[in-house]
C-alpha cells in the first residue's frame, strides 16, 4: 500500500470520528403553552428523555416556569410574557401581543427560524394558551411548517369564563387553513387508567407524557397527520388508545381495539368520523407475526359497521428492542361531528361572549364565523 493511500485512510477515519462527536441537532420542536400542561411535562421529565427534540415552554412568567422545574431547565427553553398584563381571558393576551412587538419577535425566533416540525401541547381554557395556540398555528402555517396541536379542553365543572376561552381558541384554529388539532377532554384525561410498557399502572394526566413521547417517537408523525388533515380538510381529531397491552393477555389486535372503545379522550360520535390515523409501537420480535399489512387489514375490518371512513392511514410501526410482548396503539380519529358539543358550550358562554362584544374585544359577526367554522359540514 502506498504512503498516499495510507494517509488518505487515516484522514478519512479522523473525519468520521469528528462527525460522530458532533452533537445531534434537534429535528422537531415540542412547544408547551400554559401552566397546566407545563406542570405535566415538567413533572414527567419528558424533555430529559427526548434529547433530539427542541422544547419551548411559553407562559405568563419565565421565573415561574423555571421554578416549577425540579431539575432546572435552561432559560433558552422558556418564553414568558413577563409583564403585569392580565391573562384571564384570551383577549387580554391578544391585547398584549398586539402592542408588544418584542415578545412576538422572540416567539417567532424560537419557533419559526429554526424550521422544526412542531408538536404543540396547550390548555384551551387558560388565557395564555387560548390566545397563543391559534397565533402559533397560524404563524407556523404561514411559514410552510407542519404543526400538530394536542389541545386540552376544560373540565365540565370549570366555570363559564374558561369555556369561553376554549370555544374561542378551538373555533379560531378551526377557521384557519391547515390547522391540525387533537382534542382531549380534561375530565377524561385525569380519569386516565392505563399500563406502561414495563407493566406499571399509569393514572391521571401524567399519561400525557406517554402519549406525546409515542407521537414523537415516530419521525414522520407530524408530517403524516398534517397531510391527512389537509387532504381531507379535517382539522379536529381525538384519540382512542391502548397502552402497554400484552398480546398474550389480549390474544389479538381485535381485542385490543375493542378495549380502546372504552378509553376515549373525548366524548364524540365515532360513527360520524371520516378519517383515521393509526400509530403502533411494538417489540421488534413481533415484526414478522404482525406486519404493517396485517395491522392495516385488521383495523379496516374492525371499523366496518362503526364508521364510514374515507381514509385509514397506518403509519410505519415503531419497533423497540424489548423482550416483552406489549403493544401501544393510538387511533387518532378525525372528521367527527362536534355540533352538540359546540351548541352546549355556546349556550353556556353566552353571557361572557356578550360582555366581550359589548366591550369591543370581538364583533358579533366575528364570533359567529369562529363558532360556525366548527359546525360547518
Model confidence pLDDT, tens digit, residues 352-374 = 999 999 999 999 999 999 999 99
Pairing assessment for the beta strands 53-59 and 78-80 based on DSSP bridges: parallel
Task: Please tell me which residue, 166 or 175, carries the higher pLDDT value.
Answer: 166
197 lies in a domain?
Answer: no
By residue range, what is the domain housing residue 369?
A: 340-375
367 lies in a domain?
Answer: yes
CA distances from 40 to 5, 65, 365 (A): 57, 12, 37
Pairing assessment for the beta strands 236-246 and 326-334 based on DSSP bridges: antiparallel
359 lies in a domain?
Answer: yes
pLDDT digits (tens, 9 = 90+) for 208-250: 999 999 999 999 999 999 999 999 999 999 999 999 999 999 9
Cell of 357: 362584544
- Alpha-carbon gap, residue 87 to 126, rounded angstroms: 8
- Using an 8 Å Cβ cutoff, are 117 and 129 in contact? no
35 lies in a domain?
Answer: no
pLDDT confidence tier of residue 22, bands split at 50, 70 and 90: very low
Global pTM?
0.91
Residue 5 has pLDDT above 50, yes or no: no
pLDDT at 20: 52
277 lies in a domain?
Answer: no
Phi, psi for 282 (deg, rounded to 5): -155, 165
- Alpha-carbon gap, residue 90 to 68, rounded angstroms: 23
Q: Into how many domains does the chain fold?
A: 1
370 lies in a domain?
Answer: yes
357 lies in a domain?
Answer: yes
136 lies in a domain?
Answer: no
pLDDT digits (tens, 9 = 90+) for 177-196: 778 999 999 999 999 999 99
Amino acid at each position: 500500500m502506498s504512503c498516499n493511500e495510507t494517509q488518505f485512510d487515516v484522514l478519512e477515519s479522523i473525519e468520521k470520528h469528528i462527525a460522530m462527536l458532533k452533537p445531534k441537532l434537534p429535528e422537531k420542536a415540542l412547544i408547551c403553552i400554559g401552566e397546566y400542561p407545563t406542570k405535566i411535562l415538567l413533572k414527567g421529565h419528558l424533555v430529559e428523555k427526548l434529547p433530539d427534540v427542541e422544547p419551548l415552554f411559553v407562559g405568563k412568567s419565565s421565573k415561574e416556569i423555571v421554578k416549577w422545574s425540579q431539575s432546572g431547565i435552561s432559560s433558552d427553553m422558556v418564553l414568558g410574557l413577563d409583564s403585569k398584563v392580565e391573562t384571564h381571558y384570551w383577549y387580554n393576551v391578544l391585547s398584549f401581543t398586539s402592542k408588544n412587538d418584542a415578545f412576538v419577535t422572540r416567539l417567532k425566533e424560537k419557533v419559526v427560524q429554526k424550521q422544526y416540525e412542531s408538536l404543540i401541547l396547550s390548555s384551551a381554557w387558560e388565557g395564555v394558551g387560548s390566545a397563543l395556540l391559534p397565533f402559533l398555528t397560524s404563524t407556523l402555517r404561514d411559514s410552510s411548517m407542519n404543526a400538530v396541536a394536542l389541545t386540552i379542553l376544560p373540565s365540565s365543572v370549570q366555570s363559564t369564563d374558561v369555556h369561553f376561552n376554549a370555544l374561542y381558541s378551538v373555533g379560531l384554529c378551526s377557521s384557519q387553513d391547515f390547522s391540525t388539532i387533537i382534542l382531549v377532554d380534561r375530565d377524561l384525561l385525569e380519569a386516565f387508567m392505563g399500563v406502561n410498557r414495563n407493566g406499571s399502572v399509569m393514572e391521571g394526566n401524567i399519561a400525557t407524557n406517554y402519549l406525546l413521547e409515542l407521537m414523537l417517537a415516530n419521525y414522520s408523525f407530524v408530517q403524516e397527520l398534517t397531510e391527512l388533515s389537509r387532504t381531507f380538510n379535517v382539522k379536529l381529531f381525538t384519540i382512542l388508545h391502548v397502552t402497554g397491552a400484552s398480546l398474550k393477555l389480549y390474544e389479538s389486535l381485535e381485542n385490543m381495539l375493542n378495549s380502546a372503545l372504552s378509553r376515549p379522550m373525548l366524548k364524540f360520535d365515532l360513527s360520524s368520523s371520516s378519517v383515521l390515523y393509526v400509530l403502533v409501537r411494538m417489540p421488534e420480535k413481533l415484526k414478522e407475526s404482525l406486519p404493517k399489512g396485517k395491522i392495516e387489514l385488521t383495523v379496516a375490518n374492525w371499523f366496518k359497521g362503526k364508521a364510514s371512513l374515507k381514509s385509514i392511514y397506518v403509519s410505519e410501526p415503531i419497533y423497540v428492542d424489548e423482550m416483552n410482548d406489549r403493544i401501544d396503539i393510538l387511533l387518532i380519529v378525525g372528521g367527527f361531528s362536534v355540533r352538540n358539543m359546540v351548541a352546549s358550550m355556546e349556550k353556556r358562554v353566552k353571557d361572557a361572549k356578550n360582555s366581550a362584544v359589548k366591550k369591543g374585544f370581538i364583533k358579533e359577526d366575528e364570533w359567529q364565523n369562529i363558532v360556525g367554522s366548527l359546525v360547518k359540514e
